[in-house]
Structure 1
Amino acid sequence: MRDTKTSPVIALLFFFLFILLSFLFHFSFSHCANLGTETDKQALLAFKSKVADPFGALSTGGMIPSTFACGLDLKHQRVISLNLSGQNLTGTLSPYIGNLTFLRLINLQQNSFSGMIPHEIGRLFGLRSIIFNRNMLQGEIPVNLTHCSELRILDLVVNKLEGKIPSELGSLFKLKGLGLASNYLTGPVPQSLSNLSFLQRLSLSENSLNGNIPVELGQLKHLNMFQVSVNSLTGSIPIQLFNITPMDYFAASENQLFGEIPPYIGFTLPNIRLLFLGGNQFFGNIPHSISNASKLEWLDFANNSLTGSIPEDLGRLRNLTRLNFARNNLGTRKGNDLRFLDSLVNCTYLEVVSLSKNNLRGILPNSIANFSSHLSYLYMSANPISGSIPTGIGNLKNLILIAIEVCLLAGSIPISVGSLPKLQVLSLFGNNISGEIPSSFGNLTFLSELHLHRNSIRGSLPSALGTCHLLQKLDLNLTRLNFARNNLGTRKGNDLRFLDSLVNCTYLEVVSLSKNNLRGILPNSIANFSSHLSYLYMSANPISGSIPTGIGNLKNLILIAIEVCLLAGSIPISVGSLPKLQLLSLFGNNISGEIPSSFGNLTFLTELDLHRNSIRGSLPSALGTCHQLQKLDLSDNNLSGAIPSEVIGVSSLSGWLDLSHNHFTGRIPSEVGNLKNSIDESSYIYLFI
């Protein structure tokens, strides 16, 4: 028999063979690992070569980037993540990025990458997250991204991508987040997206998508965010989408969607926090069930065609911060449409209430004075709301804006309004408000816009205005001052003293005081108004004096309207140095002197109305250089001499030309025929009687 024991020689041979095989295996593995590392290194260097890197996020002395930028698999020494978020990088994406075959995450968000997304990314079969949001990437979404079958997140929000959404994206079965909002994408929403059964977040807003919302999207039972706002989508929203229980963010505003809002929405969306359906064509009533959606924070149904009453138990929405029902047809015409406001006192986080442009009728309740201490914006304009502003409104110390315009409010403005330390805009025009303007307005140090015109406010402007105490506290913020169409004035001849204080309002853009009873001499101080002043309305007041020479300092003036007053003197030459002036209307005064030839410098002038004055001298030919002049009315003055052909030759004057009731002599310039050839039925040319 053969000896079954292994001889020492054979054992020794096996030992050496084992050592050799171990060496060969180690050499082969190490060589492959080095080859992989070298591949990643070259891919990263190629990526780096196309990028401008102001913060040095890629600066590593030519080696593989540091762990700040890259995550490495310690076992294989391969790049598995590339995170360059918010590094102010610019450039394009190198196709060599497709050689990083171990890559699981690539995050380039909040940079300035441009160009196209490389198709080679489709070779990264293990990739789980592509985060390219807030760049300037262009072109179409590569179809072969669908080869990245492990992808969980595809975030391309805020770029310049165009074309259609590839239907092939529906094959990324593991996808949980798809963000394509704020691009230039067109075409329909692919039905195939309903295959993404694990999808939780779908963001397609702010594109140019059209067509209907696919009914099949209602199968996405894990969806908690659905955004399709600001597109051109039509049809109705599939009711299945309102049955997805996890949904907490639903935005379909600014489309062309129609239909009724489902009556059960408050029950089927129990987790909804943000609901945006504004800017569509929805009709019917606001569902009463909405009060059951107890987690609601933002509710926006604005700019639709909703009718009927507003649910009176909205106060159950204890987390509500913003309520926007503006621009609908809400209201019952029964005079009690505002009862729901009482319940809003329970919404202790409420910041914005917007109800403007509806048909809400009733007396403004005192309960608004008990709204949330967080309330910042109150919009109730263009409703048949009566009553008066509650005195307690001064409790709402965080109010920034109050807009209750074109309503039926009466009574006086409460003194307590002056105790709103953050108030920037107060707009109450178009009501029946009486009484005086409270002197407490001097405490409104952040007030930027004050609109009280078209009311029955009487008495003098607050003494705080005249003594500068009020406006010294407003001097950095007041931009619009509107007291037009009231009965302001004392008839004592010194109503304009407050204008001196306006020189402290260094951001003042608009002054509107027309149609009051303000009496006095126009002060020279108006020449020292804010350099930002663009519009000056003072018409229909018994204002005397003359236009200050220094008015030429106000280089941003676009409009001067001081009509039907008692002004005398001549028009300052400096008016011709107002480079932006478009309209100058001084008709119905006692102005004398000549028309300054400097008016020829007013290249943007469209209207010049000086009729019913005592202006003398000749008509300056320099007006012929005002090539945008559309209306010229110099009637009822004492102008004389020939009519310059240069003026009649301004072709834009086809709209309105009146030189009647003067003392012109000579021939009518032949250029008037050119005007007649271009006029229409609404044009007005009147040379002589």
Structure 2
Amino acid sequence: MSPSLLLTFLCGLLFIAGEAAQVAAESGGVDDKEVLLELKRFLVANNKVNRGGYEAWQESGQSPCLWRGVGCNRGGRVASLNLTCSTISGPAFGNFSRLSALTSLDLSDNSIIGALPASDLNQCHSLVHLNISHNLITGSLNVSGLTKLRVLDVSANRLEGGVAVNFPAICANLTLLHLSTNNFTGNITNMLEGCTRLEYVDLSSNNFDGELLPDIARFRKFSVAENNLSGTVPWTMFPDGCKLQSLDLSANQLVGSFPDSIAKCTNLTYLSLWGNNFAGMVPAGIGKLASLDALVLGKNRFDRQIPQELTNCMSLQFLDISRNMFGGDVQEIFGNFMSLKYLVLHHNNYTGGIVASGVLRLPLLARLDLSFNEFTSDLPQEVADMKSLKYLTLADNNFSGRIPPEYGRLAELQALDLSNNTLSGGIPASIGNLTSLLWLILAGNQLSGEIPPEIGYCTSLLWLNLADNQLTGNIPPEMAEIGRNPGPTFAKNRNDTSVFIGSNECQVMRRWIPASYRPFNFINSVLTDPRTKKDSVMTGGNCRNIWDRILKGYIIVPMCTSSLSVGSLPGYVQLSRNMLSGEIPPRIGTMQNIGLLFLDGNSFTGQLPRDIGRLPLVELNISRNNISGPIPSEIGEYMCLERMDLSFNNLSDELPTSLFKLTELVLFNVSYNPLISGNISTTGQFGTFDEQSFLGDPLISLDQGEPAGKKQPGEEAPYVTAVERSSIPTAILV
């Protein structure tokens, strides 16, 4: 065959091949559209109300490449599918493998349940990116057929069992592996040996065991927090060329000394050893980590002598050496960390040395936590000169004397927790200068005198707890202004990129946001390790994310007004168990950001003001006062009210029928109001309350016609119903 004929023949073959490829691509594109429409029908059938962008996918006309969440390659084939945050519930779709050109699949942040369709997923041979995180997926993890994977994220699900079947099958190209916050088990010591390209590994919050992987220094980020690893960390763990930028070994069972060879990880910015059994000297080699931002050494058994070399960490902003039981005075070395913004030293049995240590002179310090120690004497006035201070926690010590009026100079202060000391005297009027204050927690002291009306200037103050003191006088009407406008403070926090959320933040959250307060009771699920029922650290990111949203004012729970839920953060006012008196001021009804009002255990008199019905309350407790008159019918407008305790007062007249509209009510107690009357139906929501809600109320009749209050006041009477007693918030939770 002549060269010209051969060239013509080859060109013809190429043309035919091109035509065939185009036809195949077009055919594949049509098949892809059919699969996507099948997926849409599947999702619509399982999601009757709330649906994501997939609902707009149209059967006719438009190419699927233009559909929301769909990405195509140059040949017009579906290459990526992003259905994150699409309010998907129900089981997972089982035909993704028919999208034969699919390289990226993201189903994260939905409510997908049940087991993964492993037989289908393992046929997605082109997949390089798989993200199914933050769902409710159960069963085992088997994606061993996905040999091209670079990114695998299955975090925050309910997966369980071993994962060894996936390794080394998926190792060849894997660069990111995120398995955190599941119930995986098994020995991981040599699990990732074949994953030579792996850089980012998060195995935290599982039940993995064994010893620490011997070659973690080759990763950039490695977290194995909240597992059951044991053994020591040898010197050879951190060789020359260590690539680590972030290392989290917290909440395991590691023992022994921690090696100075960590100094070879010169790129390290985050190091957490929290919650192990490390002992001996804090490694001096940490002082060579010039880029270190955060160092978390809490809940170990380190020696109280801190190496001077650590002050060479010129970038260090967050330092936690809490729960090491150092005793004695606060070490003076802490006053030399001039770059520090957050210093956490709670639970160390310190007895003194706050001023002498120099920590109050750190120029950038924004958070100081010295709670749960054994400090005595007066509160240090020098705190007032800390111009950058935002969060001050001196709770659970033995401080005495007065609250220094000088604290009113802390213009940036957002949280002041002095609870559970033996402080006396009055609340200084200068507290009104703290216009950025979000939390004021003074519960559990011996404070006396009246609540200063200047507190009304604290318009950011959403969370106020003055319970268990000896406060007297009336509630000042000006107090209705607290929490009226926290927006400016939240705005400042949103613009502050330096906010560190470090170890044990769940503990602070438990004190400042009562976890059993129903608008926040979901916090219980992230504060407690479901495996051990013990306090959890925030390694899975749950506490970090919730705390960040609270500080920035982002919605985490709805506020309720009448029948509508609107976006806001519910605040609280807790004045329980003081000696307050007088009438409850009608102006209290203007506190539109308050979801919990606790006035129980005081000596309030007069009638409940009708304006109280304007509050967006979820909980109301005015028990054990001297309130008289009728229950305002306006209380029946609290469409989100879940708990109401009016017991041990002098309320009278008939129960307003509007109360029977409170369909969310789970606790109702009007016991020992002998002048209150009415017939209680056993149908509807009030049918869930028995005679325990009406003890000592002889004029109340249940549906059966029997008087409800046969028990005499002299007998031991429940404060709330027996079923609900354990879930009522205390004055302050620790």
The normalised TM-score by structure 2 is: 0.64
Partner of residue 259 from structure 1, selected from 252, 255, 259:
255
**Correspondence for 1:108:** 106
Structure 2: give runs of 5+ residues left out of the alignment.
41-52, 329-348, 487-560, 562-567, 719-734
SS in 2 for 1:178: strand
Per-residue deviation, residues 159-210 of structure 1 (Å, max 9, x unmatched): 565542134423524432212234454444362313323321012234x433
**Correspondence for 2:245:** 248
Task: Flag the 1:344–1:219 CA change in 2: closer, same or farther, 3 A.
Answer: farther
**Correspondence for 1:546:** 628
**Correspondence for 2:572:** 480
Verify: 1:499 aligned to 2:497, yes or no: no
Verify: 1:464 aligned to 2:478, yes or no: yes
**Correspondence for 1:535:** 620
Verify: 1:403 aligned to 2:417, yes or no: yes
Task: Flag the 1:312–1:20 CA change in 2: closer, same or farther, 3 A.
Answer: closer
SS in 1 for 2:225: coil
Task: Flag the 1:471–1:241 CA change in 2: closer, same or farther, 3 A.
Answer: same
Structure-2 separation of matches of 1:324 and 1:623: 61
Worse overlay, 338-347 or 166-175? 338-347
Task: Flag the 1:359–1:57 CA change in 2: closer, same or farther, 3 A.
Answer: farther
Q: CA deviation at 1:442?
A: 0.9
Task: Flag the 1:137–1:35 CA change in 2: closer, same or farther, 3 A.
Answer: farther
Task: Flag the 1:165–1:386 CA change in 2: closer, same or farther, 3 A.
Answer: farther
**Correspondence for 2:167:** 169
Structure-1 separation of matches of 2:264 and 2:356: 23
Task: Flag the 1:413–1:260 CA change in 2: closer, same or farther, 3 A.
Answer: farther
Per-residue deviation, residues 256-278 of structure 1 (Å, max 9, x unmatched): 53535727487455433334455
Native 8 Å contact 2:386 2:410 kept in 1: yes
Structure-2 separation of matches of 1:528 and 1:221: 61
Native 8 Å contact 1:471 1:504 kept in 2: no
Native 8 Å contact 1:581 1:602 kept in 2: no
Task: Flag the 1:267–1:404 CA change in 2: closer, same or farther, 3 A.
Answer: farther
Worse overlay, 317-326 or 185-194? 317-326
**Correspondence for 1:4:** none
Partner of residue 558 from structure 1, selected from 626, 632, 643:
643
Verify: 1:335 aligned to 2:363, yes or no: no
Task: Flag the 1:45–1:574 CA change in 2: closer, same or farther, 3 A.
Answer: closer
Letter in 2 for 1:335: T
Native 8 Å contact 1:146 1:168 kept in 2: no
Structure-1 separation of matches of 2:431 and 2:203: 43
Letter in 2 for 1:210: F
Structure-2 separation of matches of 1:482 and 1:110: 39
Larger radius of gyration: 1
Structure-1 separation of matches of 2:569 and 2:209: 47
Native 8 Å contact 2:461 2:483 kept in 1: no
**Correspondence for 2:150:** 152
Native 8 Å contact 2:186 2:208 kept in 1: yes
Native 8 Å contact 2:216 2:237 kept in 1: no
Per-residue deviation, residues 200-252 of structure 1 (Å, max 9, x unmatched): 1012234x43322x43x23133212112334x424246446963743232334
Structure-2 separation of matches of 1:285 and 1:624: 72
Native 8 Å contact 2:256 2:278 kept in 1: yes
Structure-2 separation of matches of 1:351 and 1:241: 37
Native 8 Å contact 2:81 2:104 kept in 1: yes
Per-residue deviation, residues 498-525 of structure 1 (Å, max 9, x unmatched): 5222122245444444555x57534554
Structure-1 separation of matches of 2:236 and 2:704: 65
Native 8 Å contact 2:70 2:80 kept in 1: yes
Task: Flag the 1:340–1:164 CA change in 2: closer, same or farther, 3 A.
Answer: farther
Structure-2 separation of matches of 1:530 and 1:552: 10
Q: CA deviation at 1:307?
A: 7.2
Verify: 1:633 aligned to 2:711, yes or no: yes
The normalised TM-score by structure 1 is: 0.68
Native 8 Å contact 2:216 2:222 kept in 1: no
Structure-1 separation of matches of 2:291 and 2:645: 53
Q: CA deviation at 1:405?
A: 1.4
Worse overlay, 139-148 or 89-98? 89-98
Worse overlay, 351-360 or 468-477? 468-477
Letter in 2 for 1:145: G
Per-residue deviation, residues 71-121 of structure 1 (Å, max 9, x unmatched): 646xxx586953646584967253545743xx7x42435475787456566
Worse overlay, 435-444 or 454-463? 454-463
Aligned ranges 1:421-440 → 2 under 5 Å: 421-434=435-448, 436-440=450-454
Task: Flag the 1:592–1:201 CA change in 2: closer, same or farther, 3 A.
Answer: closer
Partner of residue 384 from structure 1, selected from 395, 398, 404:
398
Taking every aligned residue pair, what percent have the same amino acid on both sides?
18
Structure-2 separation of matches of 1:576 and 1:326: 51
Structure-2 separation of matches of 1:282 and 1:595: 61
Letter in 2 for 1:259: V
Native 8 Å contact 2:184 2:208 kept in 1: no
Task: Flag the 1:552–1:560 CA change in 2: closer, same or farther, 3 A.
Answer: farther
Q: CA deviation at 1:326?
A: 6.1
Native 8 Å contact 1:198 1:222 kept in 2: no
Verify: 1:274 aligned to 2:270, yes or no: yes
Per-residue deviation, residues 338-391 of structure 1 (Å, max 9, x unmatched): 35974375473x655445445566764445445463x54443322334565454
How many residue pairs get matched? 586
Q: CA RMSD in A?
A: 4.9
SS in 2 for 1:502: helix
Task: Flag the 1:110–1:479 CA change in 2: closer, same or farther, 3 A.
Answer: closer
Per-residue deviation, residues 45-69 of structure 1 (Å, max 9, x unmatched): 4542433263767989586836995
Letter in 2 for 1:503: G
Letter in 1 for 2:144: N
Task: Flag the 1:417–1:592 CA change in 2: closer, same or farther, 3 A.
Answer: closer
SS in 2 for 1:287: coil
Native 8 Å contact 1:55 1:87 kept in 2: no
Verify: 1:30 aligned to 2:18, yes or no: yes
Q: CA deviation at 1:139?
A: 5.5
Task: Flag the 1:315–1:553 CA change in 2: closer, same or farther, 3 A.
Answer: farther
Native 8 Å contact 1:607 1:632 kept in 2: no
Task: Flag the 1:95–1:453 CA change in 2: closer, same or farther, 3 A.
Answer: closer
Structure-2 separation of matches of 1:251 and 1:161: 22
Per-residue deviation, residues 281-305 of structure 1 (Å, max 9, x unmatched): 5465783746665544445556x46
Letter in 2 for 1:502: I
SS in 1 for 2:589: helix
Native 8 Å contact 1:315 1:347 kept in 2: no
Verify: 1:218 aligned to 2:214, yes or no: yes
Structure-2 separation of matches of 1:242 and 1:440: 58
Structure-2 separation of matches of 1:635 and 1:498: 26
SS in 1 for 2:354: coil
**Correspondence for 1:54:** 54
Structure-1 separation of matches of 2:620 and 2:613: 14
Task: Flag the 1:622–1:15 CA change in 2: closer, same or farther, 3 A.
Answer: closer
Native 8 Å contact 2:185 2:209 kept in 1: no
Letter in 2 for 1:227: S
Greater relative contact order, per chain length (Cα 8 Å cut-off, separation 6+): 2
Structure-1 separation of matches of 2:699 and 2:71: 80
Native 8 Å contact 1:167 1:193 kept in 2: no
**Correspondence for 2:527:** none
Native 8 Å contact 1:453 1:486 kept in 2: yes
